[in-house]
Amino acid sequence: KYDDPFRNVVSIMLNRMLLDKAPIIFGDGNQKRCFSYIDDCIFCLEKMLDYPDVNQQIINIGPDEEFTTINEVAKICSNITGSNLEPIYRNDRPKEVKEAMCSADKARKILNYKTSTSLVTGIEKTFEYIKNRGAREFDYTKLNLEIKNSLTPRVWLDKEI
């Protein structure tokens, strides 16, 4: 039984590269994102437990000072793993957001949030974790889709990667 499905683009890319498989990028890879390392997120979640007045508030946490493209993430992962495999590009996902960014101003004000882990350091730590645990084949067919409609990407329905 596969009990550790990857849930983010960084760990999926690193795992594939460790298995000597090229990373897969949907669209042209120029989509911009903010990537948070888990420790920075946990810091905020723990702080929220101490502040009952933040109940039912929306608070963005994330490194709003560091935006990067999916292509750049692939390059960083390639450098860290020593992989020279060129990414495989697939069609854009329907309604793909080209720039997904947040403002962590409220988290800084209320929770004293600050980004402690840079993108490269977070990718290095994730690489070390996957390398030490061992890269695993990802069985995409075992993930159940909760919502299936006309906008669901074909690759998700066909279970092809």
Better-predicted residue by pLDDT, 46 or 77? 77
Output the average pLDDT for the chain: 85
- β-bridge mates for residue 62, sequence order: none
Span 45-65, average pLDDT: 86
3-state helix, strand, coil in the chain (%, to 5): 40, 10, 50
> What does the pLDDT read at residue 2?
35
Question: Two tokens at 25?
Answer: 């990028």
Its pTM stands at 0.82
> What does the pLDDT read at residue 102?
84
Helices within 1-85 (DSSP H only): 9-18, 38-49, 70-81
For 130-159, what is each residue's pLDDT tens digit?
999 999 887 666 667 677 788 776 766 776
For 69-97, what is each residue's pLDDT tens digit?
999 999 999 999 999 899 999 888 777 88
- β-bridge mates for residue 26, sequence order: 90
Question: Two tokens at 135?
Answer: 């890269």
CA atoms within 13 A on the CB side of 81: 31
